[in-house]
Amino acid sequence: MPKPSPKFAGNKELASLGAAIRAARGEVGLSQEALAAEAELGRGYVGGIERGEHNLTLMNLSRIAKALGKRPSVLLAAASL
């Protein structure tokens, strides 16, 4: 599992995307574990994304969005990005 990106620690954009992903996960009633399994990503990694610790790639964003039943652009817009 990728280590948190210290370079991006406290990054506002990553933090707001993480919060938007957490909110969307709550809306569909998925646990972090279930979202990680659906997106085929590690649970710890998904937790780190929600905390804004990872500078995730487009394909991982796309996997998470699909698992949440949303478009990647909608997740970014929900994070004001």
Using CB under 8 A as the criterion, which residues of the chain lie in contact with its own copies when the complex forms? 8, 11, 13-14, 17, 55-59, 61-62, 71-74, 76-77, 81
Nearest distance, CB of residue 76 and its own copies, angstroms: 4
Which CB sits closer to its own copies, 30 or 65?
A: 65
Looking up tokens 């990054």, which residue turns up? 11
Contact 24, 68 (CB under 8 A): yes
Nearest distance, CB of residue 30 and its own copies, angstroms: 21
Two tokens, residue 67: 């698992």
Q: How far apart are CA 38 and CA 45, in angstroms?
A: 13
